[in-house]
Amino acid sequence: MLSSCVRLVPTTVRLVDSLICSSSRSFMDLKALLSSLNDFASLSFAESWDNVGLLVEPSPPHTVNTLFLTNDLTEEVMEEALQKKADLILSYHPPIFRPMKCITWKTWKERLVIRALENRIGIYSPHTAYDAAPQGVNNWLAKGLGACTSRPIHPSKAPSYPTEGTHRVEFNVNHTQDLDKVMSAVKGIVDVSVASFSTRIDDEEQTRISLNCTQKALMQVVAFLSQNKQLYQKTEILSLEKDNTIYKSVGSQL
């Protein structure tokens, strides 16, 4: 069973293994966090049969200091989330799939809902939205085949763009001391939204930056990256092209 906790901070999320770091000054409003999660991978990418998004919501207002990540939310994992004092559980697979006619102590899925509500814990599941998103699970699995060109078997028919921008730019910041400079620069560009998360390459922790931007803003982003090549590596540019309701991702590298 895979699970871990993350501590929410204003500009970056760092993964913590078997450890939770809490701070009264590090939190996000649930609605703001859900908006960020949707920017990262739009729920419109999910399959029509899937049950994704916020599945259990505590009464508002609800702030999230501790986000608990898991592949499958079982009763054992719920116990761990309670021990970590989680405020929101992100379960890759949805623990609630079919409609529930009642919420009692009879079945384990009903007990999950009861315990979540009793302890004011939200439950969110992205599932196939994360599979189909640009640079999502499917893309990650395809990379295991080596250098190749991949195309979707069934192109997404999302009703709207996953973001307001036309492009996504992703790159790794080499050193923590360079992160503030990079974040300040890209946030200063009009029509750019920024997300970041921790990653590990060759046993070295780095920060992965993901930008959604317009065509005009892309030129400014590329100009900044070209002038500061020492600050980053592993850059990818995704063009989110719209053809009626069909979405295509075209990747390139600097």
**How many angstroms separate the CA atoms of 8 and 23, rounded?**
9
Contact 193, 210 (CB under 8 A): no
108-120 as b/e: b if 16+ CB within 10 A: ebbebbebbbeee
Query: Which tokens go with 188?
Result: 């200063």
The answer to whether 191 is annotated as binding is: no
Alpha carbon distance, N-terminus to C-terminus of the chain: 37
**How many angstroms separate the CA atoms of 26 and 65, rounded?**
6
- Per the listing, tokens 């702030």 go with 63
Instruction: Tell me the H-state helices in 41-134.
Output: 75-83, 108-118, 128-132
Sheet arrangement for strand 232-243: 53-56, 122-125, 88-91, 66-70, 3-8, 13-16, 192-201, 204-213, 167-173, 232-243, 246-252
Query: Which tokens go with 55?
Result: 């599945």
- CA 200, 203, 205, 208 torsion: positive or negative? negative
Measure Cα distances from 5 to 43, 126, 231, 248 in Å.
22, 17, 28, 33
Contact 75, 111 (CB under 8 A): yes
Annotation: binding site: 93, 131
Annotation: binding site for a divalent metal cation: 93, 131
